Structure formats: C-alpha cells, structure tokens
Amino acid sequence: MTTERPLRVAVVGAGPAGTYASDILSKSGLDVSIDIIERLPAPFGLVRYGVAPDHPRIKQIIVALANVLGRGDIRLLANVNIGTDLTLQDLREHYDAVIFATGAFEDADLDIPGIDLDGSYGAADFVSWFDGHPDVPRTWPLEAKEVAIFGVGNVALDVARVLAKHPKDIAVTEVPKNVLDGLTSNPVTDVHVFGRRGPAQVKFSPLELRELGHVPDVDIVVYPETDYEFDEVSMEIAETNKQQKQVVKTLTDYALREPGTASRRIHLHFMQSPHEVLGEDGKVTGVRMERTALQGDGTVKGTGEFIDYPVQAVYRAVGYWGTPIDGVPFNDRKGTINNEAGRVLDEDGNPVPGMYTTGWIKRGPVGLIGHTKSDAQETIAKIIEDADALYENSSAGAEQRSPDNVMRLLHQRGVDVIQWADWELLDAHERGLGEADGRERIKVVPRDEMTNISLGRS
C-alpha cells in the first residue's frame, strides 16, 4: 500500500521485548517511524535491572540491544512514563499504533499469615536494590543471620547467591557503592530456599544451579533423606526432560559431597510449603513450613506435618507481576495485558484497533530474554496483517502525528527526555567510574544524577 507518510508507532518499554519488536518492525518492509518510550532514564529493562550483577555474560546482551537502539532508525525517548508524562490518549493522538512492552517489575503476592511482618520482603524489591534501580531506597536492611526464601526459580537462586556471597566476590561487578556497603555488613550465615514440590519440579536452570556449587566459602546443603520424593510423573520428567535430568543430577552431586566447613551455607529444601511467617513484636522470627506429599501426577498436598525454622528475614520469590496502565485492558488474575497473539483485546474479547503487546506483559513473567524475540515476531506479524487498516486510519490524525509534535508536547510538560546520544553520555560516565576501579562499569543510581549526567548538566 502506498502512503503519504510512514506509520507512526510507539513502543512502550525499552527492555528486550520492546527493543526486539522495534528491530523486527523496522525491518519488516512496512514504512514505519518508531519511537521507543521508556520510563527509566536508562534503557534495557530487566537486563540492566533484573539480571544479577555477577552474571556479566548475560548482561552482555545489552551490546546487541544497544546496536538496535543506537542504529539511528529507532528513536529512544527515555525518562518518559506512560500514564503520567504521556497518557494513553496522548499516544492515540500522536501515533497510529502502540505496542506495550512494559514487562513486570513488582512481586506477586503470597497470602499466608505473617507475610507483612517487618523483615518479610519481595524478591523483586531486593533485586531492584542490588541492581541499583533508581526508584527504590538506597539502603537495604541486611541484619539477618538466617534467611528463608520461598520459591525455586532462578530469581530465588539469584537472591540466595547474592545474600550468601562474600562481598569481595561481588565487589568485582558493576554494583554501585551503596549496594557494596550494604553487603559488606551482611551478617548472614544460613540461607534456606524452599520449594513446595520435589527435585523433578524445581524451575532452576541447570547452569545457575551448578554455578551455586562454585561460590567461594559457601556450602550447598540438600536433604535427600527427607526431601527427595518422586512419583510416577516426576520419575518420567527426571528421566526424559533433559533440563530436569541435569538439575536432579546436580542436586544429587551436592548430596554426595562431604559436609563442608564454609562460613556460609545455602540449604535447598523440597517438599515443604510455606504455612506461616512467625513473628514477635511485629518482626520475623521464623517460618513454619508444612511438609507436602506428591499425588502421583506431579502435584502436591499438605500432610499436616509442620516444621519451624528460626529465621530473621523472609524473601518471597514467587513470581513477578505486571502493572496496569490506565485505559489498557488488564487481566488482574494473570498480571498481563489481555491479548491474543499480541493484539490487545477489550473486555468483550474484541481486538482494540492499533493496540498491541509483547514480552512479559503479554504472556506473563516467565521465560528467558531469548523468548521475548519470538514473542516480538508473533506480535509484529499481527501488525503486518493489520497494516492496511492501520494506514487507512492514519489519515485521521495526519498533522498531529509528526515526530516533532510529541517532543514539543513533552517539552511543554517539562519532561527531561533522554535520547540515545544522552544515554551514551551516562554509559561513558559509568564505564569511566568502573575503569578507575578496575571494573567494567559502576552504575549510577539516583534518578536526578542519571538525568543530569545524560543531559550534560553535571
């Protein structure tokens, strides 16, 4: 179809999902002009603010994402929050289509007694702290010697590892000074990770689980005599699923190790479900776990047998949760935007014209960075299918929808927009800080400092 102007598309969220979607759309053959809008002063989403600092190899994905965002054909508008700086109505007026790639950054709830006690935390909040997120407090109360973590996914392992690692082994990473200072006074000795089901059902990836066994001066303790339970379905998974087979093998290797003498320990418990967080004077003093039993189909049921563990802090790593944006149909039960293969659906299940979604906010907070690429492919395929209708509708707001107009609006509203060249200044600054300390980078944390450096105001 021939058009007078490119289709104006806003991609909300400059994490991997939004970046891959922008990349695929820009190469789709459609005549498009793309703005990728990000609420934080820095791009890359959870690759910068979720992936653990001691996983530099995974953080390297940022290089590929930067190649897309810095190429020149996609415009980054960072430090712009959709919902406050620009509303959905503004997006409708300034763009022909919008793709929501806002991810998930909050903790899912866990409804058990005592979960709100002082000393009970969400893993996502702790991750944001140790990854230097600008919108969370600078200090974290690391006062517990014994800690419980509910959940057996990679986030639980990240939290356990960062808590148990000795500060000198984290000091070589990009962690900011406030985080290093906090970790230096961490008195922890024992971190207990709890899973409701058996070793065949844990969600650890084999690599992360193996890595745990190499953390200096930290022993891994497992309890095969009580926690190793396999029903028929579990046996089949443990024998046929390659990933799960490796996980079970690694756990068995840990079980066969001679008892260690390290000064810190990570205990991996299975077949125990959180029943209550115990407390005194409003503070966490322990956790009460209920032993579970497999039901033959891989699911578990409580047995009525309870075990108490004395701990002074609890982290729930039971999943991330998406945040709704005013006016965008949201599924409260899943924490995602209602959609079918990336087309946003209204309450009646009909596609909302010109609205799409991709990444964690589209399908829920599971899966690795690579999965967001296939997500993006599916969503962009829908835009290509809808292209004729989108171009037809685009004639309605032709004058309004120029790239300059949206910038003018943001400036009128006093928003300090950070574009790619501005981010490059902050990137160079952080690398400079790192170089002076023999590290690759040291993150700048306060939002105003990030913005000032990016905009050359410091």
Ligand X SMILES: Cc1cc2nc3c(=O)[nH]c(=O)nc-3n(C[C@H](O)[C@H](O)[C@H](O)COP(=O)(O)OP(=O)(O)OC[C@H]3O[C@@H](n4cnc5c(N)ncnc54)[C@H](O)[C@@H]3O)c2cc1C
- Residues of this chain that bind ligand X (CB under 6 A): 12-18, 37-40, 45-47, 50-51, 55, 58, 81-83, 101-103, 105, 127, 154-155, 158, 320, 325, 359-360, 367-369, 372
CA distances from 403 to 9, 74, 89, 400 (A): 10, 11, 16, 9
Nearest approach in angstroms of CB 81 to ligand X is 5
Phi, psi of 314 (to 5 degrees): -130, 135
In whole angstroms, give the CA distance from residue 141 to residue 117.
14
In whole angstroms, give the CA distance from residue 249 to residue 228.
12
Nearest approach in angstroms of CB 66 to ligand X is 14
Q: Which is nearer to ligand X, 107 or 231 (CB)?
A: 107
**In terms of DSSP bridges, do strands 330-331 and 336-337 run parallel, antiparallel, or are they unpaired?**
antiparallel
Q: Which is nearer to ligand X, 15 or 274 (CB)?
A: 15
Instruction: Judge contact between 375 and 342, C-beta under 8 A.
Output: yes
Q: Which is nearer to ligand X, 272 or 372 (CB)?
A: 372
Q: Which is nearer to ligand X, 98 or 127 (CB)?
A: 127
Q: Which is nearer to ligand X, 307 or 366 (CB)?
A: 366
Q: Which is nearer to ligand X, 15 or 279 (CB)?
A: 15
In whole angstroms, give the CA distance from residue 313 to residue 191.
10
In whole angstroms, give the CA distance from residue 193 to residue 148.
6
Q: At what angle do helices 420-436 and 447-454 cross, to 10 degrees?
A: 110
Nearest approach in angstroms of CB 171 to ligand X is 20
> With left for phi above 0 and alpha for psi between -120 and 50, is residue 375 left, alpha or beta?
alpha
Tokens at 137, concatenated: 């407090």
Nearest approach in angstroms of CB 449 to ligand X is 18
Q: Which is nearer to ligand X, 325 or 383 (CB)?
A: 325
Nearest approach in angstroms of CB 402 to ligand X is 21
Nearest approach in angstroms of CB 160 to ligand X is 12
CA-wise closest residue to 413 among 24, 50, 46, 81: 81
Nearest approach in angstroms of CB 128 to ligand X is 9
Q: Which is nearer to ligand X, 368 or 421 (CB)?
A: 368
Four-CA torsion 420, 424, 430, 435, nearest 10 degrees = 150
Nearest approach in angstroms of CB 329 to ligand X is 15
CA distances from 319 to 110, 160, 370 (A): 10, 15, 19
